[in-house]
Amino acid sequence: MRTQVAIIGAGPAGLLLGQLLSRQGIDNVIIERKSGDYVLSRIRAGVLEQGMVQMLEEAGVAERLHREGLVHDGFSLAFDGRRHRIDLKGLTGGKTVTVYGQTEVTHDLMVAREGIGATTIYEADDVVLHDFDGASPRVSFVKDGVRTELACDFIAGCDGFHGVSRRSVPEGAIQEFERVYPFGWLGVLADVPPAAHELVYASAERGFALCSMRSATRSRYYVQVSLDEEVEDWSDERFFDELRRRLPEDVAAAVTVGPSIEKSIAPLRSFVAEPMRFGRLFLAGDAAHIVPPTGAKGLNLAASDIHYLSQSLIEHYRDRSDTGIATYSQRALARIWKAERFSWWMTGLLHKFPANTPFEQRMQRAEFDHIANSTVGSAGVAENYVGLPY
Ligand code: APR
Ligand code: PHB
């Protein structure tokens, strides 16, 4: 087999890259470890920056997004029961975010890819990257028990944090930066109307909670839990009780309790691998970086990486220019680190840290009071939340 660009991973990063390359006539093959159904079953993030919406429009997959997505002009921060709305639209000259589940983005990209007849190899085992430091990289994998080899010009490692791509880079060629947080998020998806029409990020003595949504009839809620918690110990009743105890009274009163259709605990970490290019291998999305979900940046960073990478590969094939390829890592990392900072800062502001001293707890409150009473403070939050320019 041969293609121009081999893409490892059929998550949002891989699928979006494949769609943008295919629309420019650049041949690509996606190699995915899991089945398509499994990829679609993963419940993930749900807030799209305006830049990502534009990327999906460029990819020709934004029709359902515009029909079903919820455009939000703001969101609220709550601290010990006091609520402050961040007026995204007013503070950023009209920018907004769109609430639309990652599952839906993945579905729309999968349908589009099937529609153009591009090749995705699902349930590929034992994927191995070869010779990406030379001019003839290859990817081999086992499909239906047969090892197959795919020759290509470039490899895009879009295989997430636990993928094979980053691990294929020689240890001395990569530097990793990491912060693991001393808590996780217990998330629940339920077919009940949202407690508020915009997102509410709440910080309380008992810990952090988030009220989000997928539609007017489907809510997504999270509560901070310690790392030794087991999801089996959290009945729906216990979850909703804890959620309401952490919310401002009016929001808590508006919570509709209903059976969870998904419930899971996710750890929180900040992680960046530098650089993101190794010869003819490029890392993009979670393969190269992870953010705590507090800033809703994970999916959006995958999109901005793909903005830079797709542009670089298109320039290579269309304009015979390798300037984009040579600067991909530097340009992607400049934006990644700013999103890492914002996500780390939002996490530090809103969560209960076991090791925090009373002084540090006062700093959290003072930070909230500053934002709530300062247009400049709120604008700083707003410009990062809607997404910094690509
Ligand atoms: N070979 C092939 N595919 C692999 C391998 C492998 N060795 N390892 C992982 N994969 C696949 C996974 O099954 C997954 O479908 O790569 C894909 C990576 O997708 P994501 O983890 O969703 O990463 P990305 O596309 O970068 O999207 C980032 O997804 O995890 C969320 O919070 C994250 O919202 C962010 C977004
Ligand atoms: C979600 O809806 O899943 C969501 C929204 C905002 C976040 C994190 C998760 O910051």
Give 139-179 pLDDT, tens digit per residue.
999 999 999 999 999 999 999 999 999 999 999 999 999 99
Q: Is the pLDDT assigned to residue 44 strictly greater than 90?
A: no
- Which tokens sit at 87? 């007026």
For CATH 3.30.9.10, list the domain ranges present in the chain: 181-268+353-386
For CATH 3.50.50.60, list the domain ranges present in the chain: 5-72+97-178+269-347
> Which ligand has the minimum distance to the alpha carbon of residue 262?
2
- Hey, what CATH topology would domain 181-268+353-386 get? D-Amino Acid Oxidase; Chain A, domain 2 (3.30.9)
| Maximum CA extent, the chain | 63
Classify domain 5-72+97-178+269-347 by CATH number. Answer: 3.50.50.60
Report how far residue 266's alpha carbon sits from residue 180's, in angstroms, rounded to the nearest whole number: 12
* Per-residue pLDDT tens digits for 327-345: 999 999 999 999 999 999 9
> Which ligand has the minimum distance to the alpha carbon of residue 210?
2
- pLDDT bracket for residue 43 (50, 70, 90): confident
Residues 6+ apart with CB under 8 A from 264: 43, 186, 187, 231
Q: Is the pLDDT assigned to residue 42 strictly greater than 90?
A: no
* Per-residue pLDDT tens digits for 219-259: 999 999 999 999 999 999 999 999 999 999 999 999 999 99
- Which tokens sit at 56? 């999906």
Atom number, ligand 1, closest to the C-alpha of residue 284: 26
Residue with tokens 């997102």: 199
* Per-residue pLDDT tens digits for 268-277: 999 999 999 9
* Per-residue pLDDT tens digits for 60-89: 999 999 999 999 999 999 998 899 999 999
Q: Ligand 1: does its nearest atom lie under 6 Å from the Cβ of 98?
A: no
Residues annotated as part of the active site:
72, 201, 293, 297, 385
- Which tokens sit at 22? 């295919």
Please tell me the predicted confidence (pLDDT) of residue 81.
85
Report how far residue 9's alpha carbon sits from residue 82's, in angstroms, rounded to the nearest whole number: 43
Atom number, ligand 1, closest to the C-alpha of residue 102: 34
Please tell me the predicted confidence (pLDDT) of residue 45.
86
